[in-house]
Chain A
Amino acid sequence: MATGVMSLNPLVDTRDTRFVLFEVLGVDKLTQYPRFADFDKDTFEDVLNLAETIAVEQVYPANMEGDKIGVKYEPDTKRVILPECYKPALQAMYDAGFIGLVNDPEIGGMGMPQAIGQCCTEFFTAASVAFSMYPALTIGALNLIKNFGTQEMKDLYIPKMITGQWTGTMCLTEPDAGSDVGNLKTKAIRQSDGTYKIIGQKIFISGGDYDMPENIIHPVLARIEGDPPGTKGISIFIVPKYRVKPNGSLEFNDVICSGIEHKMGIKASATCTLNFGDNGDCIGWLLGQERQGMKIMFQMMNEARLYVGLQGLAVSSAAYMHAIKYARNRVQGVDVTQMLNPDAPKVTIIKHPDVKRMLLWMKSYVEGMRLLTYYVGYQEDLVHVLDGEAKKEAQAMIEFLIPITKAGNTDNAWKVTAEAIQVYGGYGFCSDYPAEQFARDAKILSIYEGTNGIQSMDLTMRKILMNPEQYNYTVFKKRVQETIDRAKGIVDDKYVAIVQKGLEKVDTVVNYLKDQMAAGKFLHIFANATPLQQALSMFTLAWLHLWMLSATQPKMKEIVGDRKGDDLTVLLADNSEAAYYTGKVLSSQFFLGAEFKKFFGMVDYILDGEAAVVKANEYIFTGAPLE
């Protein structure tokens, strides 16, 4: 790893991305496999640097302006207008090939590892949460077609989607069908030529319509007339905004945007209500088999949920980085040890213990989340290149960690962005400063793509308790134990011991829930799902910090040696590697030594078996009007 000074940008600690990718995960080792044999570390570096450049120079400048202008809707023309500043930034990203970055070269992608893709997406998303959603949804829709479409569909749609000329969405939600997607009413009527007429309304469709792409391709969940209610009866259809005629020209396909939402945040994301078939002329093409809609959509769910987890990481990173810069420059008050000295000079607030505490807290979460998110992406690469048990184990880690990544990162995002505002003080609340927008953008993340309550149920039931032989959980424990064993002798005992103790506690909790499952206490389990997820999310970050500390502690010792006091300060000011590794060590020590203690309280929440939630019913929530 070169010791040259890495670029500084306002969004993501670039040095840390390389640490995670190459020093911890060893992503460059993927190049030994045929799938990635065309690449080497330099090519990865080129792509990462390009992503950073576009994100910082093109996307980031549009973030605040996009938020101020917002998406606009013209009721007369039914046009949705994207903030102008977004368009060149999107085009730059498309032109550089980022839509197809991790996709199959056969369809025009670059075939890069998912782990590299996670890092590139972190830059784009940190630059602007709303911005990154446009390409993300296109990638999702494109992948649906790639994995389940006929060759004809693939030839028709993918080439233009991978360049961004046509974009995509995900059309599931309706006014009465959110978490309960099976309740949807959009219907598909069989036509004699094998196509379907689509009639219905979808809401909260990000990128549903806007004035940049030539066409928008909507994968739509709908029920074929006659098919059963609930999730079993759902099929999925490709419904383009313009259908493509045999001669290649585009014909309007009766997909109308009837309005957009005005939201707390991600204001530059066009959140649309789409009406399909208002004029009886909306055609959809079946994707995959009939009544396989949910199964098909579920395959995309992991990818989408990981992406939202990455959004949580990215917005937290951007907020944290801005807070550091502010704290480094804002002069206010004297050094706390000089409070009684009337001649004491004023200092920058980064010197105050309470401010350092806030920053270190944010740093420890951002760095833990970064490793977690890239790790899951990396497991997806391993699933592609490994065989047998190794492949199964990688898949198990993905299954286990996806709900943790989605829910954990997004719950943290609101807290981290709120703490960043706190560092800014009063100015943080003012719209001239970027901090408050990060917070407003962050809150949706815990809600969409499956609320965190849904993620918690998925983790608790499908991924643990109902997972045959608790295979996923077993693999997770194995990985954690491997990290603990490797850390012994390298990392201070107390940090190793606390993670070991944490692992034992996790086991106790999982066994406790297994007992509840066996006893049929489903209400208790469902009431404990989110508390379990929150505890496991915290534990996962502790595991990852122990892993990082095993790498950073020796490095720091090597560079810093026994230096103390002024000697140390001078070194840290001059040597960026010394500063970096020292910061990493302190971040992990803070998390494991102080923050992680809270995990044990979270576990006791579950083990103490307080049944108040189960005993509560709707009537005891008194005081509020009934309607």
Chain B
Amino acid sequence: MALNPLVDSRDVRFVLYEMMDVLQLTKLPKYSSFDKDMFEDMLNLAETMAVEQIYPTFAEGDKEGCHYDGATKKVSIPKCYHAALDAFYEAGFGGMDVSDEWGGMGIPQVISWACNEFFCSANYPLLMYPGLTHGAAELIEAFGTEEQKHMYLANMYSGKWGGTMCLTEPDAGSDVGALKTKAVRQPDGTFKIYGQKIFISSGDNDYYENMIHPVLARIEGDPPGTKGISIFIVPKYRVNPDGSLGEFNDVTCAGIEHKMGIKGSATCTLSFGDNNNCIGWLLGQERQGMKIMFKMMNYARMGVGLQAHGCASAAYMHAVTYCKNRVQGVHVTQMLNPEAKGVTIINHPDVKRMLLWMKSYLEGQRAMIYYLYLNYELAQLLEGEAAKEAQALVEIITPIEKAGCSDMSVLITSEAMQCYGGYGFVADYPVEQMMRNSKITAIYEGTNGIQSMDLTMRKILMNPEQYNYTVLKKRMQQTIDKAKGVVEDKYVALVERGIQKLDEVIEMMKQQMASGQFLHLFANATPLQQAMYMLVIAWMHLWSLSITMPKMKELVGDKKGEERAALLKDNAEAAFYSGKVLASQFYLGAEFPKYFGKIEALLSGESAVIKASEEIFTGALNE
């Protein structure tokens, strides 16, 4: 299989075909015209594009960054991004999962997102341009009138026009209901839009011919808070009936942010209606803005988890290559031998530990992410209980995936830099940029604190009969049952115990809920999410180990020592499965025990956080 510096291609196939059995989708009417060869073509094409067209823009785009011209109020994105985006769209990736009615290829979600893993690991800030466009187009596809769909979709999926998500304002971040942008009803059914939005990725740029902004705003007279929010389509240039671009629609970029990372992404402040001439078209029903936006948000959250994961995957892969080449120090067993020669650092136990740690999280995450996308699709394609269960898994895993992958990305990119040593901190090497890019994923698209609240309250405690949690446990139990006798007992027992412990925590929280101890629940939301993330990764590893352990035994048999080393060196499959087994054993046997410490922290009932008030955070300035 091809080797690339971004994503383990062999592992992508393992997860898709050997774990998730995505070919099951081809048995469904929607995908009956697809087969494995077609999936492979897409994946290979995506990999080639990621490595040859997108990855070369990674360093350059960060160095050049975006520029804002105060005189023209225009934003220019890194020059190298243009050709890369052209290639991306020409190959059809802008709408790969979209219906051919809108010019898409209509491939399954899980395949399209496996392709996205390659793209995100290559340079995820670049992917935000088509990513947001795709998201905005989907909103229109799901909630727009036929007229709106015909006016916008084809051009958006083809990359001629771009899209954004306009929610945030200076005083409305996590509290989006506090937004002030207003919509004033016009006699012809349109609305005049007035307001300012900030942190709008791709808000203005010199790539797309037009920008289509879905904007959350409050119709004058509608109530405050989230209940009063509607959503409007606000193009940068109004579109004529014949599809040509019309008048400038009074959407101005007032500036861009200078950021720690994702410098190639144009993060804009947009002013709507500075000249009283900004028109918006209602999308869906009045005062349904939040409900509509949530559909996009859930999907976007899954996407952020993948961005973070891709970023971390690239960092890990670079670290592996670096460690295989950097000579430094002798083998630790030769430390007292003055004749000993220097070895590559991948031979040092502490370096192997760091790499195996990264590998184990990334492989667990890959399985979780693909599983999430598979179920996202199954929820739409299946019927009855099967569809409900798939949806339940999507509900409960989405916040875990978004928060977990983004928090891990910050730690994995840091550990990758640690493998590089001093050179890792130097800007000539790519890892420091990966670190800088990682942190925003824990913040946008709903901070991880928000994800944790969503998981704890909406997805578990307030979910009728805890249906989502019940389905999750059912699936985990199925994996445990299949693993018995195939995987060593100690690993199975750990996951079983993990579920039991989680049950204890959920019970405790249900009681706290019943007795109105809301502060305790909110203080424990993030600790719960962090623990559940570890458990889901453990579950994925147990599932994986059930498959890889027999395979490895088949290929490697009883070989030990030199014989085994020789086999692993020459036989790619033997090396792959051995690596998979070791990563899973490492996660379950060494890393996962830390989960139980997190559980004990949750069960401890330590109430210091509750008792803390703002006054006790002493020492700092008041303003």
Q: Give chain A's interface residues, CB within 8 Å of chain B.
A: 8-10, 12-16, 173, 176-180, 183, 203-204, 228-230, 232, 261-265, 321-322, 324-325, 327-329, 331-334, 336-337, 342, 346, 348, 350-360, 363, 414-415, 418, 421-422, 425-426, 428-432, 436, 439-440, 443-444, 446-448, 451-453, 456-457, 522-523, 526-527, 529-531, 569, 572-573, 576, 579-580, 582-583, 586-587, 589-590, 593-595, 597-602, 604-605, 608, 610, 612-627
Contact B225 A622 (CB under 8 A): no
By the criterion CB–CB under 8 Å, are A12 and B619 in contact? yes
CB within 8 A of A527: which of B178, B346, B353, B440? B353
New contact pairs (10) apart from A8-B619, A324-B619, A325-B621, CB-CB < 8 Å: A183-B329, A418-B442, A431-B259, A447-B421, A530-B353, A598-B597, A604-B597, A619-B568, A620-B578, A622-B572
Contact status of A446 and B522, CB under 8 A, knowing A264-B425, A332-B171: no
Q: Are A590 and B608 in contact (CB-based, < 8 A)?
A: yes
Min CB distance B31 to A, Å, is: 28
Give the residues in chain B near A615, CB-CB below 8 Å.
Answer: 582
Q: Which residue of chain A has the shortest Cβ distance to B572 in the bound complex?
A: A622
Q: Complex Cα distance A321/B619, Å?
A: 7
B586 close to A179 (CB less than 8 A): no
Given contacts A422-B448, A431-B260, contact A601 B596 (CB under 8 A): yes
CA–CA, A354 to B442, complex, Å? Answer: 14
Contact B426 A527 (CB under 8 A): no
Q: Does B103 contact A (CB under 8 A)?
A: no
Partner of A422, one of B199, B327, B428, B442: B442
Chain A residues near B527: list those with CB within 8 A: 357, 594
Judge whether A443 and B414 touch: CB under 8 Å: yes
Chain B residues closer than 8 Å to A624, beta-carbon distance: 3, 5, 8, 317-318, 320-321, 324
The docked-state distance in angstroms from the alpha carbon of A426 to that of B173 is 8
**Are A179 and B328 neighbours in the complex by a CB distance under 8 Å?**
yes
Question: Cβ of B612 < 8 Å from any Cβ of A?
Answer: yes
In the complex, what residues of A have CB within 8 A of residue B453's CB? 354
Q: Are B585 and A612 in contact (CB under 8 A)?
A: yes
Which residue of B168, B323, B435, B518 contacts A443 across the interface (Cβ within 8 Å)?
B435
What is the CA–CA distance of A321 and B11 in the complex, to the nearest angstrom? 43
Given the interface pairs A354-B523, A443-B425, the reply to whether A622 lies near B618 with Cβ below 8 Å is no
Q: Which residues of chain A are within 8 angstroms of B178 by Cβ–Cβ distance?
A: 332-333, 346
- Contact check: which of A12, A176, A346, A439 meets B260 at CB < 8 Å? A439
Is A608 in contact with B590, judged by CB distance below 8 angstroms? yes
Query: Which one of A180, A599, A627 lies within 8 Å of B328 (CB-CB)?
Result: A180
B435 close to A264 (CB less than 8 A): yes
Which of A9, A331, A351, A608 has most chain B Cβ within 10 Å? A608
What residues of chain A lie closer than 8 Å to B77, measured between beta carbons? none
> Which of A262, A429, A612 is within 8 Å of B590, CB to CB?
A612
By beta carbon, the residue of chain B nearest A9 is B621
B320 contacts A583, C-beta separation under 8 Å = no
Cα A451 to Cα B348 in complex, Å, equals 14
CB distance from B428 to the nearest CB of A (A): 7
B114 CB, min distance to chain A CBs, angstroms: 14
Contacts A329-B623, A530-B353, A594-B601: A425 and B348 contacting too (C-beta < 8 A)? no
B565 CB-CB contact with A under 8 Å: yes
Give the shortest distance, in Å, between B595 (CB) and chain A (any CB): 7
- Contact present for B427 and A447 (CB under 8 Å): no
B294, CB-defined interface residue at 8 Å: no
CB <8 Å contact, A613 and B349: yes
Partner of B620, one of A8, A598, A618: A8
Q: Are B10 and A623 touching (Cβ within 8 A)?
A: yes
Distance (Å) between the CB of A623 and the closest chain B CB? 3
**B453 nearest CB neighbor, chain A only:** A354
Instruction: Please report the C-alpha to C-alpha distance between residue A284 and residue B466 in the assembled complex, in whole angstroms.
Output: 74
- Which residues of B pack against A, CB within 8 Å? 3-5, 7-11, 168, 171, 173-175, 178, 199, 223-225, 227, 257-261, 317-318, 320-321, 323-325, 327-330, 332-333, 338, 342, 344, 346-356, 359, 410-411, 414, 417-418, 421-422, 424-428, 432, 435-436, 439-440, 442-444, 447-449, 452-453, 518-519, 522-523, 525-527, 565, 568-569, 572, 575-576, 578-579, 582-583, 585-586, 588-591, 593-598, 600-601, 604, 606, 608-623
Q: Is the CB of A444 within 8 A of B425?
A: yes
CB of A526 within 8 A of CB of B594, answer: no
B56 to chain A, nearest CB (A): 15
**Which residues of A sit under 8 angstroms from B579, Cβ to Cβ?**
616, 619-622
Whether A353 touches B523, Cβ cut-off 8 Å, given contacts A586-B611, A621-B579, is: yes
Known contacts A594-B606, A597-B598, A625-B4; is A355 also within 8 Å of B589 by CB?
Answer: no
Shortest Cβ distance from residue A412 to the other chain B in the assembled complex, whole angstroms: 12
A324 CB contacts on chain B under 8 angstroms: 617, 619-620
Q: How far apart are B590's CB and chain A's nearest CB, in angstroms?
A: 4
A523 touches B332 (CB 8 A): yes
Cβ-defined contact, B350 with A590, below 8 A: no
Q: Do A429 and B174 contact each other (CB < 8 Å), given the known contacts A342-B225, A360-B609, A620-B579?
A: no
A573 touches B615 (CB 8 A): yes
Question: In whole angstroms, what is the CA distance A611 to B601 when docked?
Answer: 27
Q: Which residues from B are CB-within-8-Å of A617?
A: 347, 352, 565, 568
**Given contact pairs A357-B609, A422-B448, A429-B443, A447 touches B614 in the complex (Cβ within 8 A):** no
A355 to B354, CA, bound (A): 31
Contacts A613-B353, A614-B349 known; A623 to B425 CB distance under 8 Å? Answer: no
With known contacts A453-B351, A623-B317, A599–B597 Cβ distance under 8 A = yes
Find out whether the CB atom of B422 lies under 8 angstroms from the CB atom of A425: no
- In the complex, A439 Cα to B437 Cα: how many Å? 12
Distance between B223 CB and nearest chain A CB, rounded to angstroms: 8
Q: Nearest chain B CB to A117's CB is how many angstroms away?
A: 21
Chain B residues near A626: list those with CB within 8 A. 3, 321, 324-325
B575 touches A619 (CB 8 A): yes
Complex Cα distance, B621 from A329, in Å, reads 11
Tell me whether A602 and B594 are in contact (CB under 8 A).
yes
Q: Which 5 A-B pairs have the closest CB atoms?
A: A13-B619, A601-B597, A623-B8, A593-B606, A610-B589
In contact, B425 and A447 (Cβ under 8 angstroms):
yes
CB distance from B301 to the nearest CB of A (A): 16
- Structural contact, A527 and B174, CB atoms closer than 8 A: no
The smallest beta-carbon distance between A593 and chain B, in angstroms, is 3
Interface centre among B171, B418, B620 (most CB of A within 10 A): B620
Give Cα A341–Cα B9 distance, bound, in whole angstroms: 51
Residues of A close to B443: CB separation below 8 A: 421-422, 425-426, 428-429
| Cα(A456)–Cα(B5), bound, Å | 30
The CA of A363 and the CA of B619, in the complex, are separated in Å by 11
10 contacts between A and B (CB under 8 A): A176-B328, A232-B338, A333-B178, A337-B518, A342-B224, A447-B417, A527-B352, A595-B601, A608-B590, A621-B323
B260 near A436 (CB under 8 angstroms)?
A: yes
Option from A176, A429, A600 in Cβ contact (under 8 Å) with B439: A429
In the bound assembly, the distance between CA atoms of A619 and B596 in angstroms comes to 32
- A418 touching B439 by the CB < 8 A rule? yes
Q: What is the distance, in angstroms, from B313's C-beta to the closest C-beta of chain A?
A: 9
Please state if B174 and A425 are interface contacts (CB–CB under 8 Å). yes
A12 to B317, CA, bound (A): 39
Roughly how many angstroms separate A204 CA and B422 CA in the complex, as a whole number? 8
Name the distance in Å between B208's Cβ and chain A's nearest Cβ: 23
What distance in Å separates the Cβ of B339 from its nearest Cβ neighbour in chain A? Answer: 10
Contact A618 B347 (CB under 8 A): yes
Which residue of chain A lies nearest to B172 when distances are taken between CB atoms in the complex?
A332
Least CB separation from B521: chain A residue: A353
Taking a contact as CB atoms under 8 Å apart, the answer to whether B425 and A621 are in contact is no
What is the CA–CA distance of A357 and B452 in the complex, to the nearest angstrom?
13
* Chain B residues, CB < 8 A from A457: 350
Q: A625 to B321, Cβ gap below 8 A?
A: yes
Q: Within the assembled complex, what's the spacing in Å between the Cα atoms of A421 and B260?
A: 11
Task: Output the least CB separation between B421 and chain A (Å).
Answer: 5
Q: How many angstroms from the CA of A453 to the CA of B8 in the assembled complex? A: 26
CB-based nearest B residue for A615: B582
Q: Is the CB of A625 within 8 A of B3?
A: yes
Which among B10, B427, B582, B614 has the greatest number of chain A C-beta atoms within 10 A? B614
